[in-house]
Structure 1
Amino acid sequence: MMKKPLIVIGGPTACGKTAMSILLAKQIGGEIISGDSMQVYRYMDIGTAKVTPEEADGVPHFLVDELMPDEEYNAMIFQEKAKAYMEEIWQRGHIPIVVGGTGFYLNALLYDNEFTETEGDESFRLACYEKAQREGPDSLYKELLVIDPEYAATTHANNVKRVTRALEYHHFTGEKFSVHNAAQKQKSSPYAAAVILLTMDRDQLYERIEKRVDLMIEAGLLEEVRGLLNRGYDGSLVSMQGLGYKEFLPYFSGEITLEEAVAQLKQGTRRFAKRQLTWFRRQIDGLWINLSHTDPQTALEDILAYLSQCGISIKK
């Protein structure tokens, strides 16, 4: 049986994934599935750099604006929903393009990773989140260092979601998450998959991050966070611990100034981009394109040639 085509576009935040994915989709008749852990939430538009209707330019997007901020979303739910959308896209004779910076989600889909039967049991996960709120993220990270130092070395202490995921896997299976990931990595993709990884020179990427944060503030990010708080969504939610939201919670409670919150967001986003790049380099193979050294049209031509090498035939 012939494998069905799948295109994945990954890379750090603010590197130009949205623009490149839309350019590619229009060229090949593709439809886009968001591989981002935050853009799925309603009311969270500015802080997640969600694609606007103008940017989308008629290209269909899925897994954007589909859940409320207090609904559970994880790699297993993403994988399940993305696979359903992929089937619909193939039936229309189009190619699914999964785009995002949440590497764990992309890998889960690309290699059809298996999840434990306990994924639906949220009790342990919620207990971890509560502990992180109460005692700080380091309290969870110290546990991870003891049970799985290999995985701890690949993630940041403040990434509560990833640390919790590893602790949860060990709690339910008795196995290390790093061992599970290594085994999954040995699997081949069930799809005719092409992975495109976008990057930029660090100085240019950091400059884009700084500018993006300033534009988010101008566009009304503060009002967006205030609106979420007014709706009853607070810092106990995983969604509200996302970049662009958690930094402003102390500002609204009077603990820090707006300038401090903005500075923290810029610094946090730079660090996040650095971690994303490290993850993609270690965990996933594909065609790397440095957008600091090429223009969009040349990058598109390189991508089309790569798709052909991967056995993805373009009808359009």
Structure 2
Amino acid sequence: MDDKQKLLVIIGPTAVGKTKLSIELAKRFNGEIISGDSMQIYRGMDIGTAKITCDEMEGISHHLIDIKDPDENFSVAEFQLLVRAKIKEIADRGKLPIIAGGTGLYIQSVIYDYKFADVPGDEKFRRQLEEKADRIGAEALYKELEKLDPKGAAVVHPNNVRRVIRALEIFHLTGRTMQEFQSTQQSDPLYQTAIVGLIIEREKLYQRINSRVDLMMEKGLLQEVTMLYQKGLRNCQSIQAIGYKEIYDYLDGKISLPQAIENLKQNSRRYAKRQLTWFRNKMNVKWFNITDVNDYEKKIEEISHYVEGKLRIKSNTY
């Protein structure tokens, strides 16, 4: 185990407090942070993705943020290559690589030996599904996936047409669900990994999510999305992100702004639930409940001791 590269991973549902913890642990363990969020890679999509600001970084180096334009695609396979390269680069500097984020499949693809070249493809079938999505809507396609693979559908957003199509394509070719196909590729982790998961009481989490959406609107989420809308961006992977699709529906005149905001809150809460389902079923996580804010410092110490023991490293004294 000791000959493997050490890696710290911080996961949890949206709005739980991963950013704050990642900064604290990066200070304690001389680390650099790699974003594990599949949407923070996009430039100009700052408010809706709750992207960390320069001030919030507190001097800690961050990676895989603002590396793509919103009209570019980004795959799990590309994420895997980029993150593994960053892990080596950070380790070569004598620092601890820390992945912080909430996109389960992306993080899982880094830790385990997923070989995406082995995943089959059928371009003709994929085009048929894309045309079907345009004709009858993404929701109908998502319902097809729910019938074939309820567990897989539970961790995919209905608006993420690309992921839905990919799951249907793999089932079409192999007769297996995406999860069944992936399970045949998993083995021991490639890294000596400590996975820290944050949780809080559900009602408090939902309150945080709702408050975060209100704050996003105050900060100018509508203006941010309107700029993308006016550039003619549509049918892009980036625009399927929660916080953008809902505002697009408003700008298209389909719903009112209050309804768009309510949809955003509801979709964020559902996403948080799907994130927890994924992490609990797919990864070996050590969970820490941080509901009690008065106990936060004590909880930080508890998490630090866990990381020290799991990775066999010592924290800095400062």
TM-score (norm 1): 0.91
Mark the CA change 1:106 to 1:40 in structure 2 (over 3 Å): closer, same or farther: same
Deviation (angstroms), 1:250: 1.8
SS in 2 for 1:288: strand
Deviation (angstroms), 1:247: 0.3
Equivalenced residues, count: 314
The CA distance in 1 between the partners of 2:132 and 2:15, in whole Å, is 31
Deviation (angstroms), 1:143: 3.8
SS in 1 for 2:113: coil
- Whether the 8 Å contact between 1:192 and 1:312 is mirrored in structure 2 is no
Mark the CA change 1:99 to 1:124 in structure 2 (over 3 Å): closer, same or farther: farther
Q: What is the aligned partner in structure 1 of residue 103 from structure 2? A: 102
> What do the CA deviations read for 1:209-259 (whole angstroms, capped 9, x no partner)?
11111110010101100111122212x112101100000112112222111
> What do the CA deviations read for 1:25-45 (whole angstroms, capped 9, x no partner)?
011111111111100000100
The CA distance in 1 between the partners of 2:181 and 2:147, in whole Å, is 17
- Given residue 42 of structure 1, which amino acid in structure 2 is its aligned partner? R
The CA distance in 2 between the partners of 1:114 and 1:61, in whole Å, is 26
Deviation (angstroms), 1:284: 1.3
TM-score (norm 2): 0.90
SS in 2 for 1:104: helix
Q: Among the aligned pairs, what percent are the same residue?
A: 46
Gaps in structure 1 of 5+ consecutive residues: none
Deviation (angstroms), 1:118: 6.0
The CA distance in 2 between the partners of 1:81 and 1:120, in whole Å, is 22
1:26 and 2:16 aligned: no
1:194 and 2:205 aligned: no
Alignment of 1:5-84 (within 5 A): 5-84=6-85
Q: What is the aligned partner in structure 2 of residue 222 from structure 1? A: 222
SS in 2 for 1:277: helix
Deviation (angstroms), 1:151: 3.3
SS in 1 for 2:97: strand
1:272 and 2:271 aligned: yes
Q: What is the aligned partner in structure 1 of residue 243 from structure 2? A: 244
- Whether the 8 Å contact between 2:196 and 2:303 is mirrored in structure 1 is yes
Task: Choose 275-284 or 52-61, whichever is displaced more.
Answer: 275-284
SS in 2 for 1:8: strand
Note the aligned Cα RMSD (angstroms): 2.4
- Given residue 212 of structure 1, which amino acid in structure 2 is its aligned partner? R
Deviation (angstroms), 1:164: 2.2
> What do the CA deviations read for 1:29-74 (whole angstroms, capped 9, x no partner)?
1111111110000010000000000101111111110001111112
The CA distance in 2 between the partners of 1:97 and 1:113, in whole Å, is 20
Mark the CA change 1:108 to 1:91 in structure 2 (over 3 Å): closer, same or farther: same
The CA distance in 2 between the partners of 1:12 and 1:27, in whole Å, is 23
Gaps in structure 2 of 5+ consecutive residues: none
- Given residue 62 of structure 2, which amino acid in structure 1 is its aligned partner? H
The CA distance in 2 between the partners of 1:94 and 1:197, in whole Å, is 22
